[in-house]
Amino acid sequence: MAKITPSHAIQSLDAGVIPKTKNRLKARIVHNLDLYLIILIPLLVLLIYSYVPMLGIVIAFKNYRVFDGILDSKWVGLTHFRTLLSDPKFFSVLSNTLLINLFKFIFQFPLPIILALLLNEVRTGFVKRMTQTLTYLPHFLSWVVIAGIFVDILSPSTGIINVMLKVFGLSPISFLGDDSYFKSVLVASTAWKETGWSAIIYLAALTSIDPDLYAASSVDGAGKLRQTWHITLPGISSTIVFIIILRVSTLLGSDTEQVLLLYNPLVYSVGDVIGTYVYREGIQNGSYSYTTAVGLFVSVIGFTLMVTANKISRKYSNRGIW
């Protein structure tokens, strides 16, 4: 009788398992072929429009010339990165971008949470739906429309705010031409446009909280504030952490269209951000390689911030994106 060694047993086991696994996978694909074909379309779109263009990153390491093309342009290594790190103008727009996004994070981030909590307490269906519609609507307006609205409202001569100031005997304020007010205008316009839309995420998270928790807390004598603090906020804490991590990763991003439509030479010192800097140097001046290096630098910093925020969140709250 032949002796069966452990190695022979493993080989025979693998020979039986691998074909079965392959057959099972093939059968699953054939059975769900229509679903895989549906998924294939957005995956191809993602590949073509998001990943294939990443090959253009190589421009940051070359002296790109349009007529030479990407492959034939001269390789210059890290020259453009040395240039941006020694350019005081770049650090000026970098600090402006960071400050504006920090202000947006501090003052705008709590607003959707507050709005969602307030809407969750509204019991009249018509009032709730109407409020949601009115707060969501600005999200669907382009920055061109919103910039026009804010220019009219903040006009030093005919704007409603300055008209009210004149009524009370105060001097008009040039909100869009004063360094000390321009960042506040950017924060306020972004908050007005996006608060209602961002609240949708928190309203969805609120539906996952067990209503019995509120009933039990009411029996114990807890009021609305105490229920919000001990039940509602902990119930949506994972969503809050998720949004915070995403917002941290975009601290060096910028709403270029918003700034381009609202700023002017009087506020360049505080309003010029990375997006407008890239637009001016890349599109207007033709410095494609340099601005690609700027974009790559910002992307790496953003990715680093996201990973760091996720690690900190996992360490102290045991929650994170991954």
pLDDT at res. 142: 92
What are the sequence ranges of the domains in the chain? 6-58, 78-316
Predicted pLDDT at 115: 92
Per the listing, tokens 């609507």 go with 137
Q: DSSP letters along 275-310, please? A: HHHHIIIIIIS--HHHHHHHHHHHHHHHHHHHHHHH
Q: pLDDT 10s per residue in the chain (322 long)?
A: 445 555 554 454 444 545 566 678 788 878 888 888 888 888 999 999 888 888 888 999 998 888 888 888 889 889 999 998 898 888 999 999 999 999 999 988 899 999 999 998 888 888 888 988 899 999 999 999 999 999 999 988 888 999 999 998 888 998 988 888 999 999 999 999 999 999 999 998 998 888 888 888 888 888 888 888 888 888 888 888 888 888 888 888 878 899 999 988 888 888 889 999 998 888 888 888 999 999 999 989 989 988 888 888 888 777 777 7
Distances in Å between the alpha carbon of 244 and those of 16, 143, 248?
49, 24, 6
Look at residue 20 in the predicted model and tell me its pLDDT: 61
Looking at the structure, give the CATH architecture of the domain made up of residues 78-316: Orthogonal Bundle (1.10)
The secondary structure of residue 191, as a DSSP letter, is: H
Alpha helices in 109-255 (DSSP H): 110-121, 125-136, 143-153, 160-167, 179-206, 211-219, 224-227, 233-235, 237-249
pLDDT at residue number 22: 66
Radius of gyration of the chain (CA): 27
